[in-house]
Structure 1
Amino acid sequence: MNLTDQERTAKQRQVVDTHIRQENAHEWESVYDTMLRDERAYYDVVPLSTRYHAFQEVQGFYELFESALPDFHVTITGSCDSPGLSLREVTITGTHQGEYCGVEPKNHRVSFEMAAVYVFLDDEPFKIAAQRIYFDNETVLRQMRGEKGALTGIGLAKETHPES
């Protein structure tokens, strides 16, 4: 497959956009169709120092996340793509309806910003091999607990996408 860097990054951008659009639709088979479905796949949740190894564990992470925030929505606020890597700044919103990091659900709304790195392999350039996510978990936990004055980030979704 002889693709230019521009062609490769354009296709990666399409894959990541489809991936996020299907996450927002909660269409899990379509989400998984954008990913490698083997032992090379992994998902790093950096603030929790946790790696989910292989496709089955990645699926398990998505199940845990959706049980905590079943109505979650991802708004893209920034992006950058290069051959093999795609980066997205996003705002995640949702309602805490399932246990997360030991916090029992109280139906509090959450909103937090996150950076996501999508990794593509040279031999599978159009499937997401791995994801690494970075966010302030303490901000999430404070919102879930309903703490007065809990921060919600700097409002990137409102700045970037006023219609959100």
Structure 2
Amino acid sequence: MTTLSDQERVALQRACIVEHMRGENAHDWPAVYETFIRDERASYDVVPLSTHFAGFKGVVDFYTAFDAAVPDFKLVNTAEYDVPGCSIREVTVTGTHRAEFCGVPPTGQKVKFELAAFYLFGSGAESGKLLTERVYFDLETVLRQMRGEADAPTGVGLAQRVA
């Protein structure tokens, strides 16, 4: 068995995330799902909701729910940080609220919020596959935008800084 160097692991992680985010932006769910380890070890955590979507089925359930709520969402990667076993991406998410989300009925309002995604990877032969995606964002910002509040915040402008 060949042991990967730290540099090789990070390269695999980066390639996985590029494909993962490409699939998310294209709403190509088979491609997104292919970036995950496809068993009970996989998960998706939404920290602001205190919600853990367990197993590969949980990953699919998360994407199904979020894609329904914001079916035109797009991600803009604004920063990248990588160490062996974990990659972090800061992204700006934009889209339109089209289905219930956290008790807010669909409003057709535009949303724009910043999010930090932690990607945790397998090891050995699975170094280029996601075990967990864990996201952090300001839920109140999202909900206020979805409700159409005139003074709802839109973040600190990370996407404009990399444009």
TM value normalised by structure 1: 0.96
Q: Which residue number in structure 2 is paired with residue 2 of structure 1?
A: 3
Q: Which residue number in structure 2 is paired with residue 140 of structure 1?
A: 142
Separation of aligned partners in 2, 1:30 and 1:50: 24
Alignment partner of 1:47: what SS?
helix
Given the alignment, which residue of 142, 151, 159 partners 2:153? 151
1:36-56 per-position Cα deviation (integer Å, ceiling 9, x unaligned):
110000111000011000000
Query: What RMSD over aligned residues (CA atoms) do the two structures have, in Å?
Result: 0.7
Alignment partner of 1:58: what SS?
helix
Q: How far is 1:97 from its partner?
A: 0.4
Count of residue correspondences: 161
**Letter paired with 2:110:** R
In the alignment, structure 1 segments of 5+ residues that lack a partner are none
Pair 1:50 & 2:51 matched: yes
TM value normalised by structure 2: 0.97
Q: How far is 1:147 from its partner?
A: 0.5
1:85-143 per-position Cα deviation (integer Å, ceiling 9, x unaligned):
00000000000001000001111000000000000121411110101100000000000
In the alignment, structure 2 segments of 5+ residues that lack a partner are none
Q: Which residue number in structure 2 is paired with residue 82 of structure 1?
A: 83
Separation of aligned partners in 2, 1:82 and 1:159: 24
Q: Which residue number in structure 2 is paired with residue 59 of structure 1?
A: 60
Q: Which residue number in structure 2 is paired with residue 128 of structure 1?
A: 130
Separation of aligned partners in 2, 1:121 and 1:32: 15
Pair 1:14 & 2:15 matched: yes
Separation of aligned partners in 1, 2:68 and 2:90: 23
Alignment partner of 1:126: what SS?
coil
1:75-114 matches, within 5 Å, as 75-114=76-115
Q: Which runs of 4+ in 1 moved over 6 A?
A: none
